[in-house]
Amino acid sequence: MRWLLLLLIILSPSAFSYWDCHWPFRTEVTINNSNATPTDYQVLVDIQGANLHPGYNWSNAGEDLRVLDADDNTELKFWIDNWNQATRTASVWVRFPSLSAGSRNIYFYYGNQNASPITQVPPVFTYPGIRFHTRRTPAPANYSQAVTNFDSAADSSGYGCKFIENFTEISNQSEFSSSGRNFMARSESFFEVKPGESGNWEFRYGADFGGGGALLINNSPLEEQWGEDLWWARDWRRTGPPLNPGFPDDILIGSVNLTAGYHKLEVIGWEGCCDGGITVQFKKPGGNWQTFTTSNIDIRSAACPIQTTITFGAHEVCEADLEVIGFGSANTNSQAPDLWVQGSPREVIIRSRNNGADPSLPNTRMDITLASSLSLDSYNGNGWSCSGSIGTINCTYSTAISSGNSFPELSLQVEPRSSSPNPASITAEIKGQQYDATANNIRNISLPIRSLLFPANLPSGCSAKPGLVAGFFNTTGSKNFATSSSDFQSSFVTPYENGSALFGYTVRPNVSSANGSNNNPFGSGDKYLTIFEGYIYLDRDGDYRFAVDGDDAVELSLFESTSTPQVAAWYGAHSAINNPNTSAAASIIDRGFARGYYRFRYLHQENSGGDGYRAYWQKPGDTTYSIIPASQFVNCTVQQNIQLESTSSVISDPINSANFKAIPGAEVQYTVTAKNLGNINTDQNTTILEQTINTDSEFLVGSLQFIDGSGNQSSGLNMGNVTVTYMDASGTSITPANGYTTTVRRIRMQFNGTFKAKFDTLEPEFSYQYQVRLQ
């Protein structure tokens, strides 16, 4: 065993020298230097997406990057020249105190989402001044080709690389005493924008580049011209139009908004002939043009390059981080039941995710341990496979989950199978196939087991609508007060819940009225009965209290699955107290209810004087009563259904004295009967009908009349106060004179009052009549 351990150490030294596991990814990078040993040297490392671990989620600006030396302990300074999250490319300058000939391994660490960017000011470039570099190359057609040609060429006699302090009249000939032709000049340097200098900066250069060139800031071109003979003749007016109309466009110029810090200036161009000098200038926000010199601005550059090759090696991953986040009252993303309910399963949703920077490996396990008093009825979860129903349930997810993504929800239906132990717990533990920090892998909840009343639920086919249906009935002739539940039923509900006593039906959002004497929307007198009916939704399992208030007798009933009502009531003569009555004079409901829909009924009986009605509750976890909100109530029966039936009678014609015919000139009387066959009254003053007059008829202005239904079939509308509007074919209101007219084409009738609903066989109705003459 000792020899095996030694072999592992020899083969895998890096596995025990990982710098910091907060950075989940490490990539080995090898620098090969075939030249001398420069000191304080910077190497440019170009990175493509494929060079780093495929599970890496690229950061916005490389703030998570760290570079370590061969000992995997010493941090190396670096400067991010370019970092493109979208294209997954980067260019990073790494500074070496010395770089010996041969191979040098360094390590890139990345992927720490909480890392702060390393600010290195000044940058890793220690060479003061402006790097000016020339090489013999073929002529390029564009910037990309220019860079490729330059990087592919070797340094040779007659060309070179050096540092200058003043970018004025700089040429290959002046710097390297050579008249070499067909060369590329390239200058890359970093200048400082000091605090307070942020804003719009301008740059320009004049040169003798017969093959064109480019001016770039932070790797973005301000202006470039390729294949053009740029000869500026030392005349800054040669920027051409629109700045200097009449002059050629031989100077490259542009502007850019810069923030405080170091920025990169690049000048590049190709010359095939006479090698005139290059001059570069800049202008700070609000300033004047200045020459790009070390005396005018802080400038630093990378070392002149030596021949190096860069190889990306193996990747290592430090950790994964799987977490169960799914249940526990402290987590806002969780869903757990309030109780375990005897005889009814409760859903437990377990949510989990991969917090690590790398995808999880397949076959992630979720072990779910149930208390002996619980059992698993069923489960549901896309991609999850579970076995077992008691004790420990083994669930497996066979697909990889990417970094930062969640597993599909795992839904369990859990039901008590005995009453002990109580409370009963459920524990979920996620287990991956890779190293994992396990502190967040386990969650547990423990809940009491309760026996509760079960809901009646909505009837089959119910299309639930908001609110309660409220019926108002005339109780003139009744006794004064209901003194008990049976008395309420026998003395008020049974004799008066009928069409003869009906004031009307409406929908109320909940049971909550103002105290006063006008809480019957269909009348202002005393002696009436109100019946609210519908369903109340209790959205949590647990203990509820219900109480009432009103003037006079009030009674609240909740019907459970057995149809046995739970009643809160306050009978007899009394005024409202504007609070739930929990005194001995009234009764409250104080029971445990399972969540769901319960049939709800509230009776209110008014004798004389003030009137009012209110229903209160105290939900699980609440310490005070409140009015039951409208959001908890629905009904299954509300509908308005106004039906129209039209008949016509020819009352004269120009030819016959009897048996009149519908011929031109005949007069026809139309009778339209309206019925509300729904089970709810229309709202006050909202019944509006429109009658269209056929284009082959003349309307008799003055013939319109209204007839209400008789007795219990009266509509409830005020037939003596109908607002009539006559309109022409375009819908414009008109005021026609009495008599026949072809101008009236539509009649709009708005009725005051409320149109009563059908009750049993009783169908309230009204009619209107009008007369036309056929053309």
* Whether 769 and 724 share a structural domain: yes
Alpha-carbon span 166 to 427, nearest angstrom: 72
Nearest 5 degrees, angle CA 387-CA 388-CA 392?
A: 105
Q: Are 184 and 137 in contact (CB under 8 A)?
A: yes
Cis amide leading into 122 (omega within 30): yes
Q: How far apart are CA 250 and CA 221, in angstroms?
A: 16
CA 409/CA 696 separation, integer angstroms: 68
Report the SS3 class of residue 410.
strand
* pLDDT value at residue 17: 62
Distance CA 640, CA 633 (A): 19
Tell me the Cα Rg of the chain: 45
Query: Is the dihedral angle over the CA atoms 544, 550, 555, 559 positive or is it negative?
Result: negative
**Cα–Cα distance, 581 to 570 (Å, whole number):** 8
| pLDDT the model gives residue 752 | 87
CATH code for position 393 = 2.60.40.1510
Nearest to 373 by CA among 394, 342, 327: 342
> Please, are residues 496 and 489 in contact by the beta-carbon 8 Å criterion?
no
Angstrom distance (rounded) from CA 514 to CA 361 = 64
Let me know if residue 15 belongs to a domain: no
The answer to whether the CB of 387 falls within 8 A of the CB of 319 is no
Q: What gap in Å lies between CA 215 and CA 197, rounded to an integer?
A: 21
526-547 per-residue burial string, b: 16 or more CB within 10 A, e: under 16 = bbbbbbbbbbbbbeebbbbbbb
Strands (E), 467-553: 468-474, 502-508, 528-538, 542-551
458 falls within a domain: no
Domain edge (last residue) among 250, 284, 318: 318
Question: 591, 521, 526, 772: which is closest to 665 by C-alpha?
Answer: 772
Residue type, 228: E
515-530 per-position pLDDT tens digit: 776 899 888 789 999 9
Residue 6 falls inside a structural domain? no
How far from the centroid of its chain's Cα atoms is residue 429's Cα? 30
Mark whether 483 and 606 lie in a shared domain. Answer: yes
Is residue 549 located within the same domain as residue 406? no
User: Regarding beta strands 746-753 and 717-727, do their DSSP bridges make them parallel or antiparallel, or are they unpaired?
Assistant: antiparallel
Residues 589 and 734 in one domain: no
d(CA 458, CA 633): 12
Report the pLDDT value the prediction gives residue 3, as an integer from 0 to 100: 31
User: What's the token pair of residue 107?
Assistant: 């390590």
Cβ 41 vs Cβ 98: under 8 Å: yes
> Which tens digits make up the pLDDT trace of 692-744?
898 999 999 998 998 998 887 888 888 888 899 999 989 899 999 999 999 99
Residue indicated by tokens 């400038």 = 299
The average confidence (pLDDT) of the chain is 89
- pTM score: 0.51
CATH number of the domain that residue 218 is part of: 2.60.120.1560
Asked if residue 400 and residue 262 are part of one domain, the reply reads: no
Within-domain flag for 11: no
SS (H, E, C) 113-140: CCCCCCCCCCCCCCEECEEEEEEECCCC
Give the span between the Cα atoms of 221 and 266, in whole angstroms.
9
- 528 and 620 both lie in a single domain: yes
> Are 710 and 763 in the same domain?
yes
Q: Which of 267, 301, 335 is the last residue of a domain?
A: 301
What's the domain range around 336? Answer: 322-450
Number of domains in the chain: 5
What three-state secondary structure class fits 145? helix
DSSP per position, 478-501: S-S---SHHHHIIIIIHHHSSTTT
Q: What is the CATH number of the domain that holds 707?
A: 2.60.40
**Close Cβ partners of 37 (under 8 Å, ≥ 6 residues apart):** 98, 99, 100, 101
Say what the pLDDT of residue 308 is.
Answer: 87
Identify the domain boundary among 422, 450, 478.
450
| Residue 308 sits in the same domain as residue 350 | no
For 662-694, give the secondary structure using H, E and C.
Answer: CCCCCEEEEEEEEEECCCCCCCCCCEEEEEECC
Q: Give the residue carrying structure tokens 């132990």.
A: 421
Query: What pLDDT does 774 receive?
Result: 92
* 446 domain-assigned: yes
Backbone dihedral region of 659: left (phi > 0), alpha (psi from -120 to 50 degrees) or beta?
left
- Which stretches of the chain drop beneath a pLDDT of 50? 1-16, 328-333
Dihedral pair phi/psi, residue 50, rounded to 5°: -70, -15
Tokens of 473: 């009935």
Q: Give domain status of residue 5, yes or no.
A: no
Residue 486's H or E segment, with its range, is helix 485-488
Does residue 7 form part of some domain?
no
Spell out the residues 6+ positions from residue 564 whose beta carbon is closer than 8 angstroms to its own. none
Bridge partners, 706 (sequence order) = 768
Pairing of strands 161-164, 220-226: unpaired
- With 0-12 / 13-18 / 19 or more C-beta atoms within 10 angstroms meaning exposed / middle / buried, residue 184 is buried
- The number of CA neighbours under 13 Å toward the Cβ of 191 is 26
Q: Which residues are CB-neighbours of 8 under 8 A, at least 6 positions away?
A: none
Question: 622 CB contacts (<8 Å, ≥6 apart)?
Answer: none
* 147 shares its domain with 99: no
Residue 136 sits in the same domain as residue 279: yes
Residue 247 sits in the same domain as residue 151: yes
Same domain, 114 and 140: no
Strands of 626-627's sheet, edge to edge?
589-593, 542-551, 612-618, 626-627
**Going by C-beta distance under 8 Å and a sequence separation of 6 or more, which residues neighbour residue 642?**
674, 675, 676, 677, 678, 682, 687, 755
The answer as to whether 10 is a domain residue is: no
